[in-house]
Each structure stands twice: as C-alpha cells, then as structure tokens.
Amino acid sequence: MYERGSSALRELAGARELLRNLTSRELKVRYKRSTLGFLWTLLNPLLMMAVFTLVFSTAFKTTIEWFPVYFLSGYLPFAFFQASVMIATGSIVGNAGLITKVYFPRAVLPLSVVASQLVHLLLGIGVLLGALVVLDLASDSADFDFVPYLPVLVLAIVLLAAFAMGMALLFSAGNTFLRDIGEFLPVGFLLWFYATPVIYQVDFLPEDWRWVLLLNPLTYYVQLFRDALYDPHWPAPATVAAATVCAAVSLVVGWTLFVRLSERFAKEV
C-alpha cells in the first residue's frame, strides 16, 4: 500500500504491484484480438528486416556485410525506443477516466508502457542471438562470437531502458498540456530514424553532417548494441560515457518535470 504525502519516489516504489500488473495488461491487451497474437512481436522486426534487406540489396546495393544482422542490431533498440515513447505519450491523456477518479502515482502509466516494450525487445534480442549462433556455425566467413561480450549487451539494454523511461515521462507529461506533441511525433520519429545509423554506417554520411549523429543520443545506444552483437568487441569508453550521461540526464529531467506537472493532470485531461 502506498503512503500518501510521502516523497514521489517512495510512492512509486509502493505502487510496484500496480506497475507489474499494468505491464502484463499492456502485453495482453495489445494482441488480444489478433490471430497470431504474441508472434507479432517477433514477426514485425523480421518483416521490417526483410523489406529493408530487399531494398538495400537491390536498389541501393549496400556494401554493409551481413546487412540483416547489421539492420536488426540497430533496429530492435530503435523500435523499442520509438514504441515506448510514442505509446507512453498518449498514456496520461488516454487514461483520463482513471486519473480523474482514483489517486495513484501517475508515473506507473508511462513506465508500464516502457516495461512492456522492454519485454518485446528482450524477445527480439533472444531470437537474434539464436540466429547469430546458427550463422556462426553455418558459415565460415561469419564471426559472431557474442558470448564474451554479453555484459556489453546487458549494459546497452539497461542504459537504453533508462533513457527511454526518462523520455517517456517527459513526453507523456508534456503531451497533457500541449497535445500538439502527440501529433508531431510520427514525423519526428521518421526524422529521428534517418538521423540514427540504423540502415547506414556512420562513415556513409558526409563529414559536414556527422555532428547530427554525435548530438543524437540514440547513436550511442545503437553503437553499444552493435558492439555487443554485430561486431562483438569491447565498446569505446567514450560511447559508454555518452550513453550513461544521456540516460542519467533523461531520467532526472523526465522524472522532475513529470512529478511537478502531475499535480495538474487531473485538471487538464
């Protein structure tokens, strides 16, 4: 039972059972009325991979080796981030009925979205790891020895999840006061996708444009996932540092603003 009037963080800790249940509800409801159900979690990234691989091996003639692996190791974290933020953005406004009727720590709404997306990400990564094992055995030219670098993968997942939580809190609170945010997000994320090296490599970009990638936090997270999966090696300290700083800033800013704005949610939704 959560104590009222205690600090916002303690309140959130007290509501972890609610958070856990909301997360599993999120997972259940999403596929409830589709025949393939949970399989879509895995089918979606695989179909995306098929489309991009087809386009990039015919129309664009990519020089990236093992393009499907390169694509998935970048696309899975990006898709996790995008879905987390986009769904979380509507989570406060979308639960207006609840917010005006019951008091509970509001942060459980966006956070349960991120948590459920995290389950999707882990499943996707699990399938990718399986594929890498098979590729490694089947092909002489493939070298996906990711096992010694699993700590890198864990670090990448933890940091990205923290970054996504901060952003989910920020966008969900912001959207309550300025609904235009939700409207802008689809285009915003399209732009963000092309500004992240998911379908290309950093050095494909003209020198003049590299700064965009350096300013984009997702570059560092995608890089970490690639360091763990596509080309297994220990990441550059600068990448880890940048990813950590972005995650910390996102969490602190997102949480602080959310707590401050959440007092007014019931009047705005």
What residues make contact with another protein under the rule CB under 8 A? Answer: 1-2, 4, 14-15, 17-18, 21-22, 25, 28-29, 32-33, 97-104, 178, 263-264, 266-267
Report the b/e string of 55-72 with b at 16+ CB within 10 A: ebeeeeebebebbbbbbb
Find the shortest distance in angstroms from Cβ 261 to another protein. 11
The structure tokens listed for 55 are: 């386009």
| Cβ-based nearer residue to another protein, 85 or 109 | 109
Min dist CB 176 to another protein, Å, is: 12
In whole angstroms, give the CA distance from residue 48 to residue 27.
Answer: 21
Q: Tell me how far, at minimum, the Cβ of 26 lies from another protein, in Å.
A: 9
Q: Spell out the residues 6+ positions from residue 1 whose beta carbon is closer than 8 angstroms to its own.
A: 14
Q: Would you say 22 or 49 has its CB closer to another protein? A: 22
Q: Minimum distance between the CB of residue 81 and another protein, rounded to whole angstroms?
A: 25
As a whole number of angstroms, the distance between CA 74 and CA 71 comes to 5
Least Å distance, CB 221 to another protein, is 31
7 vs 100 by CB, closer to another protein: 100
Check: CB of residue 104 under 8 Å from CB of residue 19: no
Q: Which pair of structure tokens corresponds to residue 113?
A: 């979205």
DSSP letter, residue 231: S
Nearer to another protein, 61 or 101 (CB): 101
Q: Is the torsion defined by CA of 230, 186, 256, 259 positive or negative?
A: negative
Residue 249, C-beta contacts closer than 8 angstroms, at least 6 positions apart: 166
> Could you tell me the smallest distance in angstroms from the CB atom of residue 20 to another protein?
9
Q: Which is nearer to another protein, 109 or 224 (CB)?
A: 109
Q: Is 125 within 8 Å of 153 (Cβ atoms)?
A: yes
